[in-house]
Structure 1
């Protein structure tokens, strides 16, 4: 894959011996969707905090997102982001890149080998979708910007609870037979998805947000009690459940707020900043609310 970083983006300093790691969703969490994309004071404050505090706190920060790296780059330009984090796991954790001032942009080799050797193919997903169609289960392909090199994205429009359960069960059975992974998550209307449907994303076996968290904790030897994550939707649940401290921003879906996570009273980057201050300084932030 070519170098993914758009012009004008800075990197954080390399952390030689990281002690903590923070994961964040991108769309709807770090980046608030807007019909008129623009840089906000909340983004300024969050980027400044990361530049000032990550190295002294020995803190790694990164995004795990359903968006591909190309899509992240395009959105970064549209919203005038000036900083990329230490790592980006794109296309539901099927891509993994590391970034630092000292080493530039580097594709994580062990993860790339794992994905390359997974046996994932478009042909397999096409066969699964055709089999579902024969069973009366219709998946609708998502737009090209929601696809990835090893992620094939569809919508499933909700029917009766019984038919929805049958569709999910049949899909899980087929991906098991073909050695793939499928991710079901209620669509986020706030990020441009249709109403009353599920994201159905086919990816390699062993990929996904939880798998990325586990892999990065392993390669950096960071204990689980030194981890936190920020999200806004059911698509983030496996990531939030894997870390010690799970936060949801104020603009999160109501369904994810019903779980046991800490609910932040500020949306998007302002909520992330309050959560980071709470984690790193053990302070009582202005916008932090307990579940």
Structure 2
């Protein structure tokens, strides 16, 4: 069963009796280091212990907001030694929002309803890709298994010139807006398995995106915006970091992200998250 808790399965974070703080973390290369050292694994374990205690001590609701699918998250947890499920996972760039009750997945019905009413369709995406090709802008599908009913993933290969890249990607933005679609564009991070010299180009409903996940969770649980945290490592995390009071890039972030956000931790991966929590919430 996907991400269910069994004798050899992960531990889940029980929900806090009431929610005062909410925290949102990117998963790949933020919470989880794909090629973790023994020291980085120990930091992850320390963070997991903190989270298990913080749900009552600090009334903290914690979740992952990731471009990866839920199935991909499960595989990475198993491979990299993560043992604790968060309260929720907003996967596939927020086109899936899943809570865990006693370790078993439950989709958020309000979020699902928003997606179904968004007007998103693969036909609209295909029309955009075709029009772009006619104007000399080529997008190629990622074929990584992350596409969902409400998300289509493509790559755009850099033309080797920032100005030309910007012009081409602006054309993508214009057409996505014309079709009423949400769009995520960020520089690829080879550390997560993406090709070098490419951009992620992800089409979603306009109601998705990491910023909208933050707003939805805070509204649902009545969280004061001053009591919010977010952590990321790349360009597609910046809207989430800007949507909270305490947004932080981990120290291993991409150059693109570092150049566009002022708060960067001195620490990498889980250590950066744990350090921030301890600074603002205490031990």
After TM superposition, the score normalised by the length of structure 2 is 0.92
Change in CA separation of 1:35 and 1:122 when aligned onto 2, cut-off 3 Å: farther
Which residue of 1 is the match for residue 129 of structure 2?
129
Contact 1:182 1:202 in 2 (8 A): yes
- State the secondary structure of the residue aligned to 1:144: coil
Q: CA deviation at 1:163?
A: 2.8
Q: Which aligned segments of 4 or more residues in structure 1 are displaced greater than 4 angstroms?
A: 35-39
Q: Please give the residue correspondences for 1:1-291 in structure 2 after superposition, counting only pairs within 5 Å.
A: 3-5=2-4, 7=6, 8-34=9-35, 40-101=41-102, 104-159=104-159, 160-281=161-282
> How far is 1:3 from its partner?
5.0
The farther-off stretch of 260-269 and 112-121 is 260-269
Deviations 1:141-188 (A, max 9, x none): 113233233211111111233432332222122212222111111111
Cα RMSD (Å): 2.2
Q: Could you tell me the TM-score, scaled by structure 1's length?
A: 0.89
Which 5+ residue runs of structure 2 have no aligned equivalent?
A: none
Structure 1 residue 107: deviation in Å? 1.0
CA distance in 1, matches of 2:262, 2:145: 30
Whole-angstrom CA distance in 1 between matches of 2:250 and 2:162:
29
Q: Deviations over 1:43-96 (max 9, x none)?
A: 211111111122221011111000011111111121232111011000011110
Gaps of 5+ in 1: 284-291
Q: Output the CA distance in 2 between the equivalents of 1:4 and 1:204.
A: 25
Asked whether the equivalents of residues 6 and 73 of structure 1 are also in contact (C-alpha less than 8 Å), the reply is no
Q: Distance in 2 between matches of 1:173 and 1:260?
A: 25
